[in-house]
């Protein structure tokens, strides 16, 4: 506990240093009281049911987390709620005056033919933030982009940098409905903590898809839980609150795998005992995760040093690729750990 408190103090001090991320969200006029209304919505693909008879209403100011396994239909549900996808059955009605800011997990809103400046400002020298003008270079420096990095093609950016760039583009536009699909992927600790604070201060409506349990607990006020077979439960609170409220027969980490043939079997055989190889992997993963996080933190700190961008461009590209590979390995390790632990 003492070591944890020391780490928290160290991170708080690092966040106060010059050059760290500073975020400000453009607020739009308030939307109507009823933001989204779904009635008996049903949808699926290739004979697989993703959403089965969902009826729910999103009210102004709601902060809703959407959780479930990969492939359960979280992004599909978002698209239906926003009117981008017509459900096979049921109706979806958007309220009055919605101004939507959408953070896409696939970064499809970024134009690879433009640099960071072009993606955020569209050729303009200034961005408007709540009635105030700010120069685009200064605005991007708030997101840890040096002037040279801001002018470089975004094809040279790492996964974390592309994520920060999309945040910069998203936060520059006014909104009253903020939709974020896996925003925490590839974010460093400082950016993640500041994004959390920003969302807590956001006055509009929030729809958030994330696998980050702590982030959900700290930000959302209710959750929609997809089990991967069409059933969607509504719960008050975040991820931890859902764990306490969920039905006894529902696993802590839902699985998106299809149901096997329905064969009556005694409850005692429902759980699978880990084999020697899986048990050994479960014991070794925490150490590997700690090692990866330490290496990522070290590399990220080195890349935040202005001197990093004074070296040859090929070395910068290689460093970005190595960091992205480490982050991908860390994400895989976390997913494997969660699966074996459950």
Burial class (CB in 10 A: 0-12, 13-18, 19+), 156: middle
Indicate if the pLDDT at residue 153 is higher than 70.
yes
Q: Which residues contact 126 (CB under 8 A, 6 or more apart)?
A: 133, 134, 135, 136
The residues spanned by each domain of the chain are 18-245, 276-341
Work out the number of other CB atoms within 10 angstroms of the CB of residue 110.
19
Question: Any bridge partners for residue 36, and if so which?
Answer: 58, 94
Reported for 117-120, long-range contacts at CB under 8 A and 24+ positions apart, including other chains, are 117/150, 117/151, 119/154, 119/165, 119/169, 120/165, 120/168, 120/169, 120/172
In whole angstroms, give the CA distance from residue 278 to residue 33. Answer: 50
205-209 and 177-181 beta bridge pairing: parallel
Fold for the domain defined by 276-341: Helix Hairpins (1.10.287)
Instruction: Decide: 160 and 326 in contact? Cβ < 8 Å.
Output: no
Which CATH fold topology does 18-245 show? Rossmann fold (3.40.50)
CB 165 within 8 A of CB 157: yes
pLDDT tops 90 at residue 64: yes
pLDDT in tens, 215-266: 999 999 999 999 888 899 999 988 888 888 876 656 555 444 433 333 333 3
Angle, alpha carbons 337-340-342 (nearest 5°)? 105
269 pLDDT tier (thresholds 50, 70, 90): very low
CA distances from 103 to 117, 188, 208, 335 (A): 18, 17, 9, 22
Q: What residues contact 145, with CB distance under 8 A and at least 6 apart?
A: 116, 161, 164, 165, 168
- Cα separation, 43 vs 85, in Å, equals 10
Residues whose CB falls within 8 Å of the CB of residue 208, separated by 6 or more in sequence, listed in order: 63, 64, 65, 66, 180, 183, 199, 216, 219, 220
Considering the entire predicted model, what is its pTM? Answer: 0.60
Maximum mean pLDDT: which of 200-204, 207-211, 292-296, 322-326? 207-211
Rounded Cα gap, residues 170 and 33, in angstroms: 23
pLDDT, one tens digit per residue, over 176-222 is 899 988 888 777 777 788 788 888 888 889 999 988 888 999 999 99
Mean per-residue pLDDT for 271-299?
78
């Amino acid at each position: 506990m003492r070591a944890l408190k020391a780490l928290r103090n160290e991170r708080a001090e690092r966040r106060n240093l010059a050059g760290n991320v500073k975020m400000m969200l453009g607020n739009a006029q308030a939307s109507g009281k009823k933001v989204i209304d779904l009635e008996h919505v049903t949808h699926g693909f290739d004979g697989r049911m993703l959403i089965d008879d969902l009826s729910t209403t999103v009210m102004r100011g709601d902060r809703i987390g959407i959780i479930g396994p990969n492939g359960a239909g979280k992004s599909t549900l978002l698209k239906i709620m926003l009117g981008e996808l017509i459900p096979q059955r049921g109706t979806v009605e958007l309220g009055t005056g919605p101004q939507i800011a959408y953070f896409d997990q696939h970064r499809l809103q970024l134009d690879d033919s433009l640099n960071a400046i072009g993606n955020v400002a569209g050729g303009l020298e200034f961005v408007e933030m709540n009635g105030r003008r700010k120069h685009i270079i200064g605005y991007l420096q708030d997101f840890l982009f040096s002037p040279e990095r801001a002018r470089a093609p975004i094809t040279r950016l790492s996964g974390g940098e592309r994520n920060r760039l999309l945040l910069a583009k998203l936060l520059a536009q006014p909104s009253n409905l903020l939709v974020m699909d896996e925003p925490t992927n590839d974010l460093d600790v400082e950016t993640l903590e500041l994004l959390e604070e920003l969302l807590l201060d956001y006055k509009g409506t929030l729809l958030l898809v994330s696998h980050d349990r702590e982030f959900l607990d700290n930000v959302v006020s209710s959750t929609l839980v997809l089990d991967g077979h069409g059933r969607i439960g509504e719960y008050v609170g975040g991820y931890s609150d859902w764990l306490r409220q969920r039905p006894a027969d529902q696993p802590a980490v839902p699985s998106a795998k299809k149901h096997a043939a329905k064969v009556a079997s005694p409850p005692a055989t429902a759980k699978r005992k880990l084999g020697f190889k899986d048990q050994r992997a479960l014991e070794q993963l925490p150490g590997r995760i700690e090692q990866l996080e330490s290496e990522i933190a070290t590399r990220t700190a080195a890349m935040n040093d202005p001197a990093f961008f004074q070296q040859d461009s090929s070395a910068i590209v290689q460093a970005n690729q190595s960091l992205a590979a480490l982050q991908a390995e860390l994400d895989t390790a976390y997913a494997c750990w969660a699966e074996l632990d459950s």
